[in-house]
Amino acid sequence: MAIVPQRRTSKTRKRQRRSHQALTTPGIMVCPNCGEVKLAHVVCPSCGFYDGKKVINIKVSGEESVVEEKVKTDKTSKKKVAKAPKKAAIDEKAPKKAKSVDKKAPTTKQKSPK
């Protein structure tokens, strides 16, 4: 004998279980550089731009576009920001303050008579 469910699965229960299996459409957008339709968050296959920057060179041969090579970004063109002086160097220049200790008597709560 095979294992058989006690009750038939209702249409509602079956559809509730399958509610998360729906297919979704991919995020499609228009490339702001060339106007072609492309997937969101992906380099445009027709012009090679992503986020307003040229990422790959596209070589067009006939109707097909072939990826030629990746564009190398110039790291030297970025401005170098002067680093902030270290904390030890700042401490040497600043005058040292004497630490003062204020001793206060501990406060106790007084109970009020009722």
Q: Is 6 helix (H, G, I), strand (E, B) or coil?
A: coil
Global pTM reads: 0.42
Q: What's the one-letter identity of residue 103?
A: K
Domain range list for the chain: 25-71
Q: Is 53 helix (H, G, I), strand (E, B) or coil?
A: strand
pLDDT of residue 107: 63
Q: Is 58 helix (H, G, I), strand (E, B) or coil?
A: strand
pLDDT in tens, 25-48: 999 999 999 999 999 999 999 999
